[in-house]
Amino acid sequence: MLHRLLHRVIRPALALPPLHFWKAWLAATLWVGAVLNLPTWWERLHTLWWVTPGAWKLAGPLGELALTLGTTGLLLAFAHLCGRWGLRLVGVFLVMASAVAAYYMVRFKVVIGHGVLNAVFTTDHDLSAEIVDHWTALWVLCLGVLPSVWLWRHARQPGLLSGWRLPGWGRAALLVMLSSLLLLLLGQSTLSQARKALRGVTGPETNLIGVAAHSYLPSNWIAGTGMVVGSRVRQARDDARLVHPSRQHRYLPATPLDDTVVVLVIGETTRSDRLGLLGHTRDTTPHMRQAQHLAAFAGWSCDTATKLSLACMFVRPQGIQVGKPGQPDRILEDNVFSVYKHLGFSIELFAMQSEAGFYTKVRPDAFKLREVIAAQPENLDKRLDDRLLVPEVAQSLARHPAGKGPHLVVLHTKGSHAVYSQRYPSDFARWTPECKSSGDFCRVDELLNAFDNSVLFVDQVLHELRGTLAGRKALMVWVPDHGESIDENRHFHATPRHIAPPEQRRVPLVFWASPQWMADAELARRYARLQAHAARAANLPPDTATYGHHNLFATLLGCIGVDSPDGGIAPELNLCH
């Protein structure tokens, strides 16, 4: 009886089909997930080896490899569910697209993300001619075309569903799916643990899974393509719903905009009363205090949470239907960035956060999120903080030299968000003891020490940003989204606006103009009015200030020399009026 059960049931159940049943899937998975990613994997291994403690030197890169193989294997396995044609078509497309992406990753050290994919989907034949040559063709032929031909010829087995009744085929299908899933889960688990080990190197906010997804094929170009498609769909939907100010009003420059550069820095959770420049007893803003042509206001945010403030702070107050207590505002008009686009500005956005919905509404020509910036080779051994935005601005300005047209750079920083001590390097810990962990019991003074240290680092980042603008006709604006309540062993915001304490809505508005900006008579005249407003504001008690986010739309246009003869810019809200 047992002998019969062994030969007729157990042995056939354990038997696997011949290799040709699943070799095409295995070969494609290894080729895309391992071979084409080898240069990236080796570079990350070499870099992380010197900064990662103990066993994580190898465990982290191996976790990334497992994650990549699991992702690729699952994609191909799901394609194979549709039959041999599913595996052929998806497999060939995956191999070809990944081979092309790998070429530019290796040759130009680019991170394949929204910016690169957005350029790919934009018709620019001159740019294509500059980056495609015989080496490109040879690379794609050897690493893309030839493997695709092999895959097409050997992917003959039936699909995972249609071949279910073939001997051993069900077990092969189960093995394919489970092995891919197990690799994926193993990679996620390893990187989740590695995140804790790397906390002192990259900061606790680093999403290692997200960094890996943007570093390796094929997830980087798939995610980038999804971001491009999603942003365009959302943009089309928003365009149909919102009223565009430039269609309702005329916006006319009073001075040429050709060489104009505007850098808008969106801060995070920074209170105006913690700035030495605005009356704080500690000198948390030494660089701002010494900067020429700098004007600062203590103002009010339009809301108390990031998403809510981003929705309202760049829209005309006339285009906002204020919500009832406890309800969000209804946005009826498009934001100031749509007017910048109408005026011919190119826009690039770099973010240390992931507010993708807002970034879409900025309508940037290119943007990079935190994980994309962290995945760049030059940043592999660097701390993930706001200072990484400085070289991004320098490169953006190099891509848009003077005379090429007006240019806007939007930055979204981490500022003073969450665990304040993780927002700045240890050498900026001027005030101690500081609260170092969200799990610690921290006194109010420890929380405020860490908060002030984070403001000190913000001051340094803004100082370095001003340095990148040397020689350009530039205006830089820094404005946080909201403030923060700080109490014994707790800090928080996002209290409903109608009951929020005032510190959750106290934010600074800081403007700086370059010498070249002040050399333009019209711009200098308008900026002098801004400085006069700031001088008067310095004498006002904090709770009586009337400046804030509601001034941004009019001021961001008025200060660059733009007027609206038919009411598109409210004079009373324009700080340069």
Residue 552: give its domain's CATH number: 3.40.720.10
Could you give the angle at the alpha carbon of 412 between the alpha carbons of 478 and 419, nearest 5°? 100
Q: What is the pLDDT along the chain (577 residues), one digit of tens a residue?
A: 545 544 444 444 445 555 566 788 889 989 998 899 898 888 877 766 655 555 556 667 777 888 888 888 888 888 877 778 888 999 999 999 999 989 888 876 667 776 567 656 654 444 455 456 778 889 999 999 999 999 998 887 665 555 555 555 555 555 666 666 666 666 666 656 655 555 555 444 456 677 777 788 898 888 878 877 876 776 677 667 788 999 999 999 999 999 999 999 999 999 999 999 999 999 999 999 999 999 999 999 999 888 889 989 999 999 998 887 767 788 889 999 999 999 999 999 999 988 888 998 999 999 898 888 988 888 888 888 999 999 999 999 999 999 899 999 999 999 998 889 989 999 999 999 999 876 567 899 999 999 999 999 999 999 999 999 999 999 999 999 999 999 877 788 888 888 888 999 999 999 999 999 999 999 999 999 999 999 999 888 777 778 999 999 999 999 999 999 999 999 999 999 9
My answer on whether 310 and 372 are in the same domain is yes
Q: What is the pLDDT of residue 170?
A: 53
| Structural domain includes residue 437 | no
Q: DSSP 3-state assignment of 476?
A: strand
My answer on whether 70 and 126 are in the same domain is yes
Gyration radius of the chain's alpha carbons:
27
My answer on whether 56 and 190 are in the same domain is yes
My answer on whether 490 and 565 are in the same domain is yes
My answer on whether 299 and 152 are in the same domain is no
My answer on whether 39 and 138 are in the same domain is yes
My answer on whether 214 and 287 are in the same domain is no
| Structural domain includes residue 505 | yes
Q: In whole angstroms, what is the distance from residue 251 CA to residue 71 CA?
A: 49
Q: What is the pLDDT of residue 440?
A: 65
My answer on whether 185 and 263 are in the same domain is no
My answer on whether 301 and 379 are in the same domain is yes
Q: What is the pLDDT of residue 238?
A: 65
| b/e burial code for range 470-492 (CB count within 10 A of at least 16 → b) | eebbbbbbbbbbbbbbbeeeebe
Q: In whole angstroms, what is the distance from residue 479 CA to residue 261 CA?
A: 17
| Structural domain includes residue 320 | yes
Contact 82, 159 (CB under 8 A): yes
Q: Which of 202, 218, 234 is the last residue of a domain?
A: 218
Q: Which of 158, 183, 218 is the last residue of a domain?
A: 218
My answer on whether 152 and 271 are in the same domain is no
Q: Which of 218, 234, 268 is the last residue of a domain?
A: 218
| Structural domain includes residue 347 | yes
My answer on whether 506 and 360 are in the same domain is yes
Q: What is the pLDDT of residue 159?
A: 59
Following DSSP, what letter does each residue of 61-107 receive, concatenated? HHHHHHHHHHHHHHHHHHHHTT-HHHHHHHHHHHHHHHHHHHHHHHH
Q: What is the pLDDT of residue 162?
A: 55
Enclosing H/E stretch for 392: helix 389-399
The domain total for the chain is: 2
Nearest to 512 by CA among 301, 287, 329, 323: 287
Q: What is the pLDDT of residue 521?
A: 96
Tokens of 543: 């709770």
| Structural domain includes residue 429 | no
Rounded to 10 deg, the angle between the 84-108 and 56-80 helix axes is: 140
| Structural domain includes residue 451 | no
My answer on whether 149 and 259 are in the same domain is no
Q: What spatial distance separates the first Cα and last Cα of the chain, rounded to whole Å?
A: 97
Q: What is the pLDDT of residue 149?
A: 94
Nearest to 211 by CA among 102, 68, 392: 68
| Structural domain includes residue 406 | yes
Full domain range(s) for residue 177: 2-218
| Structural domain includes residue 174 | yes
Cβ neighbors of 418 (< 8 A, separation 6 or more) are 205, 269, 438
